[in-house]
Amino acid sequence: MSHKSEQPASGPGRPIDVRTIALALDCSTLNRAAVEAAVGLAAATGAQLSAVFIEDECLHNLAAMPFAREISFSGTSSRSFSSLQITSEIKRSVDTARRTIARIAARENVECGFSVTRGQPAESLNLAGGKAQILALGSSRSRIGRVHTVAALRSKMAHGSGVLVAPADPEFEGGPVVAILSPGAEVGAVVKTAERIAAQANRRHQFLIVSGSGAERAALHQGVLEAQSSSVEIGFCGVNQLSQVSRAIRLQSPGLVIADIDYAHFDDASSIEAVSEAFGAPLILVQV
Partner 1 sequence: MAKKTSRPSPKPKPVVAPLAPAKLRRTCDPARFAFKSTAELKPPKDILGQARAIDAIELGTGISHDGFNLFVLGAHGCDMQGAVEELLQTKARRQEPPCDWVYLYNFAAPDKPKAMCLPAGKAVRFRAAMETMVADIRATAKAMFEADEYQTRRRSIESGVKQAQESAFSELQQKAQELGTAVLHTPQGFGVAPIKEGEVLKPEEFKALPQEEKDRIEQAIRTIQHELEVMLQGMPGLMTEARRSLQKLDLEFANAAIAHVSGDLEKAFSGVEGMRAYLDAVKADLAENIYMFLASPEMPGQVEAEVTGPVQPQGDDPRLRRYAVNVVVSSDGAPNGRAAPIVKDERPSLANLVGRVEHQSQMGALITDFTLIKPGSLHHANGGYLLIDARKLLMQPFAWDALKRSLKTNRITIESATEYAGMFSPVSLEPEPIPLSVKVVLFGDHMLYFMLAAQDPEFSEFFKVEAEFDDVLKRARPMETRYAAWIGALAACNNVRALDPGGVAAVIEHSSRMADDSERLSLRDEHIADLLREADYWSNKAGRRLIGACDIESAIDGRKRRSDRIRERQMEAIERDIVSVKTSGAVIGQINGLSVLSMGDIRFGKPSRVTARIQMGSGKVVDIEREVALGGALHSKGVLILSSFITSRYAPGVPLSFGASLVFEQSYGGVDGDSASSTELYALLSALSELPIKQSFAVTGSVSQLGEVQTIGGVNDKIEGYFDLCASRGLSGEQGVLIPHSNVQHLMLRSDVVEACAKGKFHIYPIRTIDQGIELLTGVPAGKRGRNGKFPDGSVNQKVEQRLIGLADARSSYGKDRENNGNGDTA
Residues that bind partner 1 (CB under 8 A): 26-28, 56-59, 61-62, 64-65, 67-76, 78, 81, 86, 89-90, 92-93, 120, 141-145, 243, 246-247, 250, 271, 274, 277-278
Q: How far is the CB of 80 from partner 1 (least distance, A)?
A: 10
Query: How many angstroms separate the CA atoms of 22 and 50, rounded?
Result: 5
- β-strands 233-237, 205-210 pairing: parallel
Q: Which is nearer to partner 1, 203 or 247 (CB)?
A: 247
Closest distance of CB 109 from partner 1, Å? 27
Residue 56 backbone class (left: φ over 0; alpha: ψ -120 to 50; beta: rest):
beta
3-state secondary structure of 215: helix
Least distance from partner 1 to the Cβ atom of residue 33, Å: 16
> CA 107, 111, 112: angle at the middle one, nearest 5?
105
Tell me which DSSP letter residue 140 carries.
S
Beta carbon of residue 131, minimum distance to partner 1 (angstroms, whole number) = 26
- Residue (26 or 195) nearer to partner 1, CB: 26
CB 48 within 8 A of CB 42: yes
201, 209 in Cβ contact below 8 A? no
28/117 with CB nearer partner 1: 28
144 or 264: CB nearest partner 1: 144
At closest approach, how far in Å is the CB of 119 from partner 1? 11
Nearer to partner 1, 48 or 83 (CB): 83
Residue 59 or 198: the one with the smaller Cβ distance to partner 1 is 59
Shortest distance, position 226 Cβ to partner 1, whole Å: 32
- Cα–Cα dist 269/275, whole Å: 11
Residues 6+ apart with CB under 8 A from 81: 63, 68, 69, 70, 89
249 CB-near residues (< 8 Å, 6+ apart): 178, 180, 208, 257, 279, 280, 281
